[in-house]
Structure 1
Amino acid sequence: MNSQIVDPLQGDFPEVIEEFLQHGIMKCIAFNRRGTLLAAGCLDGSCVIWDFETRGVAKELRDKDCVAPITSVCWSKYGHHILASATDKSLTLWSVKNGEKIARVTLQQTTLLARLLPCSSTPTLCLACPLSSAPILVDLNTGSSTVLPVSVSDVGTGLSSHPRNKFSDGSPPFTPTAATFNKHGDLIYVGNSRGEILIVDSKSIKVQAIVPISGGHIIKNIVFSKNVQYLLTNSNDRVIRVYDNLLPQKGAAVELDEMCKVTNEFQGTEKLKAVGSKCLLLFREFQDAVTKIQWKAPCFSGDSEWVVSASANKGEHKIYIWDRSGYLVKILEGPKEALIDLSWHPVRPLIVSLSVAGVVYIWAKEYVENWSAFAPDFKELEENEEYIEREDEFDLFPDTENLKALDINLDEDVDIMTVEKDSAFSDSDASEEELRFLPSFPVPDVPDQQDKCPASSSKLEDSNHSGYPFLVEAEQNGQAILPASSPVEGAGNSAVEDVEGNNGVKRKRKPSAKVLELQDEKGEEKSQKPTIMKVKTTRQTS
């Protein structure tokens, strides 16, 4: 399906909550590349995969060895695998289609964020950002790990002796470090507590460039746009910065290596900063100049036209949306539940936000219906306009020879097998094996089991806890509940309502001939239901 049909209003942003998803207590969310499936990590260690088209649960991944809360979920490039990190220091790689566990690795520290190598169809290498150490590259097959550098020691620069970068005892600070792959995984962008972005070669684990961030504050998030033209950073100084990515999408590591060889006028850290100035260029800064709030889970829209982030204030569910020029266009206010995760749909103008209560809210565009245009060629005017008619518009016999003939070849064969390339995906021709949907398996309905002995005393004694509504209703109305051994009930009294199974559906019994006769004498309607007390009184008087 063409992207113009999927998203006819390209560039629009969400405005209202359209729906919400709830399954256990979810802690983190992530879309696949097409936005057809939504993965969520739960508090009990399971991963739930939602079919975003039907808004139903397509599959649940559960491991008996992992019952700790999930901290992050990540899809592979073609959607066949999911990587989940948990608070028990584990990394688990799942097969989405089969629901089987492929690999499980236990690290020394809890991982806050894990990302798979994006260029591999069968991922074996991932990037993990622990809670209190430098990011590491982990081989999921062997379990080996490589620590990435977060600083460059240069004598005389004074960077390593900065008081903000050490504790009182001289030890380095323990702060979470942000890191991410570029599109093809040949470079890793690492942010440190000094306010620097280190560009590291993923093969040689060598720092190739340094990009200093103004202010020198801790970098909490690093996110690439979908088209890899922009890079977003969220710092501890309450400012979101967007940079232009000057490196090419393919062969970025080779291009960066050539820059390092050419730049010879500087040495050491100054050389790395000079190379970094050719990699990233500051484009725009986003902040709330009034409240100076901290930001959480910033990201780009699917078309990279909008920048969205959530407020990190306690108990607030606010989402801020800016355009690329820096103008704040919308503030979305959700329920009074703190927001912990946020994601924009890759193709559609939709946002999903995750609250601290574990509920996923879907924000969509609010469309206004207009029923004034009755004909396909009818155009509604908001104000009066001068109309200039055609020369032959009101002629009885218009000049049809001058009309432009439609150039349609009726004999041409229509190709219905070739799939058109989606402009939203640059490599859509290489994604034929992509997993977009999961097969559904219908579950047969379980027949309701009716009670074989509804008149037994044990059933009536336990009826208050087994869901019999007519006994509870009788107690609330102050009516007498007859025991099972009562002769009135044993005679099949017509006023008693029976319940089929435990589903709460009532079934009325046919009134007896005596009751119908009494109703006719008193002029009552036949549909009226007499109570048990009325039946007893009538029998006593008769």
Structure 2
Amino acid sequence: MNAPIIDPLQGDFPEVIEEYLEHGVMKCIAFNRRGTLLAAGCSDGSCVIWDFETRGIAKELRDKECVAAITSVCWSKYGHRILVSAADKSLTLWDVVKGEKVTRTVLQQTPLQARLHPGSSTPSICLACPLSSPPMIVDLNTGNMNVLPVVVTDLGNGVAPPPKNKQSDVTPAFTPTAACFNKYGDLVYVGNSKGEILIIDHKSNQVRAMVPVSGGAVIKNIVFSRNGQYLLTNSNDRTIRIYDNLLPLKNELGALCDLDKTIDEPDGVEQLKMVGSKCLSLFREFQDSITKMHWKAPCFSGDGEWVIGGSASKGEHKIYIWDRAGHLVKILEGPKEALIDLAWHPVHPIIVSVSLVGWVYIWAKDYTENWSAFAPDFKELEENEEYVEREDEFDLIPETEKVKESDVNEDDEVDIVTADKDAFSDSDMSQEELCFLPAIPCPDVPEQQDKCVVSSLKLIDGNNSGSPLSEEAGQNGQAVNHASSPLEDDTGGTRVKRRRKPSEKGLELQAEKVRKPLKSSGRSSKVKSKSTIDQEISNGVYGDDVSD
């Protein structure tokens, strides 16, 4: 972690493409909390779960009712559920271990993004951002929808939210709005088309604070860092802005209510702005002052130290990496394919990007071998040197070890009960987290086995007519010429028997074995000449008993 201090140009961020994943046409990706599983939504409506350690497919979730492209995927807090939104206006909640569909809800508009409530282990509440309507809170169990306000109206007595459970009043010409939960899910942060960040209590459906964004451009993306300390927005003015969250991470809603009581401004927009100024503070702005490019899928690194954004230019697969101080530290250039989605690994310095053709590229750090890191006394040599051994190097107990005293106090008690603090401080130790999926071997299909048997027999039957294995004849499958045919059908017709032509030396040995019984019986070996016996052996008169 001290690498940036030693060399500012070195950091814990990826540098090269290490590997790529290919399975259909993938559109969007999401890591689980630990980064051990990667979910990818495909254009055919399926959701593929990759084991990120082995780079193999652990499970594939497919719904027969959904054949449209997946627009977003989201893991639950402990990884037991996955929420999938599709272009057919559906929201599907899956049980990851069983691979079964828990529930399915159909909206009136296509959801561009859907996020599960982060504060529950088995959430049934989600936040959906449709294409042409305001964000809404959807109860996946009951199907109830609560439309969130996206515009603050100063009526002198507060904010007038839109009616609940009604989407017909929304005008068709509506700019897509970005929204996200805070760390524990008690508030929703909405970025609207007027360049404002609204902080909404989704249970009471009231706007609690408002933060105007400089420039007033449409906010396309809004996302929190993993620790909830920073908020990122991506606007149409081609600028990525980072805000510092001034509210306490726990019980943000209670802190907002306390702020509201301390401000003496009359109810209305000015009060919301005063409260918003005490909630978010502009920390940094990122933009490309030369090309003025638009950004796609910006996000934080797992530890929140780095900010990345993908180029929205066609035919470019570029990823820009900034440190939180605002310095551009790296530009990753990939293949000539447009970039459509990005994700940073929660733990390791790894970036995963999705190209327009549907491939997933894995960017990792280019490590160089440093053998001294494994052995502190290891010395790297520029060229060969003659080694001079020490006097006591091969002694059973070297003198250096006899003199050396141990710095360990053997009287101190070693604590083997207390566990170290988990990197994920908000983990519930009583809740079992899903980090890996069991590997289920695919059973052999009988049809494939039959195809293998048929193909092997065809190989024996002789695709190569000149090979010895192809010399088979006869209408009934029997060998016509035993001397030249190595295959001979057995009596059952299913087994083949290989028979080879005896050599000249073998014929002589067989002739000797035939002559010996003739001599012992008192019959003269002249009864039959050598050539006659050899001819009979070659014709199989004496059977298979006479062998080499």
**Could you tell me how far 1:369 is from its partner in structure 2?**
1.4
Contact 1:178-1:219 within 8 A present in 2 as well: yes
Residue matched to 1:149: 149
> Is the alpha carbon distance of 1:346 and 1:452 closer, same or farther for their aligned partners in structure 2, counting shifts above 3 Å?
closer
- Provide structure 1 residue ranges, at least 5 long, that are not aligned to the other structure: 161-169, 383-395, 475-480, 497-508, 518-542
Q: Aligned ranges for residues 314-329 of structure 1 at < 5 Å? A: 314-329=314-329
> Is the alpha carbon distance of 1:451 and 1:66 closer, same or farther for their aligned partners in structure 2, counting shifts above 3 Å?
closer
Residue matched to 1:436: 435
Q: Does residue 197 of structure 2 align to residue 197 of structure 1?
A: yes
Amino acid at match of 2:408: D
- State the alpha-carbon separation in 2 of the partners of residues 335 and 515 from structure 1: 64
Matched length = 457
- State the alpha-carbon separation in 2 of the partners of residues 174 and 300 from structure 1: 28
- State the alpha-carbon separation in 2 of the partners of residues 492 and 14 from structure 1: 69
Q: For residues 331-353 of structure 1, give each alpha carbon's deviation from its aligned partner in whole angstroms, at most 9, with x where no partner exists.
A: 11111111111000000000000
Residue matched to 1:527: none
Q: Does residue 241 of structure 2 align to residue 241 of structure 1?
A: yes
Contact 2:148-2:202 within 8 A present in 1 as well: no
Residue matched to 1:209: 209
**Could you tell me how far 1:254 is from its partner in structure 2?**
0.6
Equivalent position SS for 2:349: coil
**Could you tell me how far 1:116 is from its partner in structure 2?**
0.7
Q: Does residue 257 of structure 2 align to residue 257 of structure 1?
A: yes
Residue matched to 1:506: none
**Could you tell me how far 1:448 is from its partner in structure 2?**
4.2
**Could you tell me how far 1:172 is from its partner in structure 2?**
7.9
Q: Aligned ranges for residues 390-401 of structure 1 at < 5 Å? A: none
- State the alpha-carbon separation in 1 of the partners of residues 80 and 114 from structure 2: 17
> Is the alpha carbon distance of 1:376 and 1:515 closer, same or farther for their aligned partners in structure 2, counting shifts above 3 Å?
farther
Q: For residues 215-244 of structure 1, give each alpha carbon's deviation from its aligned partner in whole angstroms, at most 9, with x where no partner exists.
A: 000000001001111100000000000010
- State the alpha-carbon separation in 1 of the partners of residues 175 and 485 from structure 2: 72
Amino acid at match of 2:29: I
Residue matched to 1:521: none
**Could you tell me how far 1:411 is from its partner in structure 2?**
8.4
TM superposition score normalised by structure 2: 0.74
Contact 1:307-1:321 within 8 A present in 2 as well: yes
**Could you tell me how far 1:74 is from its partner in structure 2?**
0.5
Residue matched to 1:62: 62
Equivalent position SS for 1:428: coil
Q: For residues 459-488 of structure 1, give each alpha carbon's deviation from its aligned partner in whole angstroms, at most 9, with x where no partner exists.
A: 7xxx9xxxx9995x99xxxxxx9998899x
Residue matched to 2:407: 406
- State the alpha-carbon separation in 2 of the partners of residues 306 and 438 from structure 1: 30
**Could you tell me how far 1:413 is from its partner in structure 2?**
6.0
- State the alpha-carbon separation in 1 of the partners of residues 207 and 454 from structure 2: 78
- State the alpha-carbon separation in 2 of the partners of residues 365 and 493 from structure 1: 66
Residue matched to 1:283: 283
Residue matched to 2:224: 224
Equivalent position SS for 2:34: coil
- Provide structure 2 residue ranges, at least 5 long, that are not aligned to the other structure: 161-169, 383-397, 487-496, 506-548
**Could you tell me how far 1:425 is from its partner in structure 2?**
1.2
Amino acid at match of 1:75: W
**Could you tell me how far 1:398 is from its partner in structure 2?**
9.2
> Is the alpha carbon distance of 1:308 and 1:450 closer, same or farther for their aligned partners in structure 2, counting shifts above 3 Å?
closer
Amino acid at match of 1:428: S
**Could you tell me how far 1:21 is from its partner in structure 2?**
1.1
- Considering Cα pairs closer than 8 Å and 6+ residues apart, tell me whether 1 or 2 has the greater RCO: 1
Contact 1:308-1:319 within 8 A present in 2 as well: yes
- State the alpha-carbon separation in 2 of the partners of residues 427 and 491 from structure 1: 82
- State the alpha-carbon separation in 1 of the partners of residues 205 and 258 from structure 2: 17
Amino acid at match of 1:148: L
Q: Does residue 8 of structure 2 align to residue 20 of structure 1?
A: no
Contact 1:27-1:71 within 8 A present in 2 as well: yes
Contact 1:92-1:103 within 8 A present in 2 as well: yes
Amino acid at match of 1:65: E
Amino acid at match of 1:406: D
Contact 1:238-1:295 within 8 A present in 2 as well: yes
Amino acid at match of 2:50: W
Residue matched to 1:31: 31
Residue matched to 1:369: 369
> Is the alpha carbon distance of 1:453 and 1:264 closer, same or farther for their aligned partners in structure 2, counting shifts above 3 Å?
closer
Amino acid at match of 1:409: E
Equivalent position SS for 2:102: strand
Contact 1:200-1:208 within 8 A present in 2 as well: yes
**Could you tell me how far 1:65 is from its partner in structure 2?**
1.2
- State the alpha-carbon separation in 2 of the partners of residues 375 and 69 from structure 1: 52
Contact 1:185-1:202 within 8 A present in 2 as well: no
Q: Aligned ranges for residues 109-128 of structure 1 at < 5 Å? A: 109-128=109-128
Residue matched to 1:271: 271
> Is the alpha carbon distance of 1:376 and 1:295 closer, same or farther for their aligned partners in structure 2, counting shifts above 3 Å?
same
> Is the alpha carbon distance of 1:54 and 1:262 closer, same or farther for their aligned partners in structure 2, counting shifts above 3 Å?
same
- State the alpha-carbon separation in 1 of the partners of residues 374 and 74 from structure 2: 47
**Could you tell me how far 1:202 is from its partner in structure 2?**
1.8
Contact 1:78-1:431 within 8 A present in 2 as well: no
Residue matched to 1:297: 297
Deviates more, 1:11-20 or 1:126-135: 11-20
- State the alpha-carbon separation in 2 of the partners of residues 513 and 233 from structure 1: 84
- State the alpha-carbon separation in 1 of the partners of residues 249 and 86 from structure 2: 32
Q: Aligned ranges for residues 105-184 of structure 1 at < 5 Å? A: 105-154=105-154, 173-184=173-184
Amino acid at match of 2:180: T
> Is the alpha carbon distance of 1:414 and 1:246 closer, same or farther for their aligned partners in structure 2, counting shifts above 3 Å?
closer
Equivalent position SS for 2:439: coil
Choose 1 or 2 for highest CA Rg.
2
**Could you tell me how far 1:429 is from its partner in structure 2?**
4.9
> Is the alpha carbon distance of 1:375 and 1:451 closer, same or farther for their aligned partners in structure 2, counting shifts above 3 Å?
closer
> Is the alpha carbon distance of 1:328 and 1:431 closer, same or farther for their aligned partners in structure 2, counting shifts above 3 Å?
farther
Residue matched to 2:493: none
Deviates more, 1:367-376 or 1:82-91: 367-376
**Could you tell me how far 1:453 is from its partner in structure 2?**
7.6
> Is the alpha carbon distance of 1:441 and 1:214 closer, same or farther for their aligned partners in structure 2, counting shifts above 3 Å?
same
Contact 1:113-1:130 within 8 A present in 2 as well: yes
Residue matched to 1:351: 351
Amino acid at match of 1:55: R
Contact 1:234-1:295 within 8 A present in 2 as well: yes
Contact 1:198-1:209 within 8 A present in 2 as well: yes
Amino acid at match of 1:440: A
Contact 1:11-1:303 within 8 A present in 2 as well: no
**Could you tell me how far 1:443 is from its partner in structure 2?**
2.9
> Is the alpha carbon distance of 1:174 and 1:431 closer, same or farther for their aligned partners in structure 2, counting shifts above 3 Å?
farther
- State the alpha-carbon separation in 1 of the partners of residues 472 and 239 from structure 2: 72
Contact 2:372-2:379 within 8 A present in 1 as well: no
Contact 2:179-2:190 within 8 A present in 1 as well: yes
Equivalent position SS for 2:150: coil
Amino acid at match of 1:420: D
- State the alpha-carbon separation in 2 of the partners of residues 270 and 149 from structure 1: 17
- State the alpha-carbon separation in 2 of the partners of residues 455 and 207 from structure 1: 72
Q: Aligned ranges for residues 77-92 of structure 1 at < 5 Å? A: 77-92=77-92
Equivalent position SS for 2:104: strand
Amino acid at match of 2:437: L
Contact 1:295-1:311 within 8 A present in 2 as well: yes
- State the alpha-carbon separation in 1 of the partners of residues 504 and 205 from structure 2: 91
- State the alpha-carbon separation in 2 of the partners of residues 246 and 190 from structure 1: 17
Q: For residues 386-437 of structure 1, give each alpha carbon's deviation from its aligned partner in whole angstroms, at most 9, with x where no partner exists.
A: xxxxxxxxxx999999x8752343785662x764322x31223536411111
Equivalent position SS for 1:255: helix
Residue matched to 2:102: 102
Contact 2:94-2:102 within 8 A present in 1 as well: yes
**Could you tell me how far 1:271 is from its partner in structure 2?**
1.1
> Is the alpha carbon distance of 1:44 and 1:451 closer, same or farther for their aligned partners in structure 2, counting shifts above 3 Å?
closer
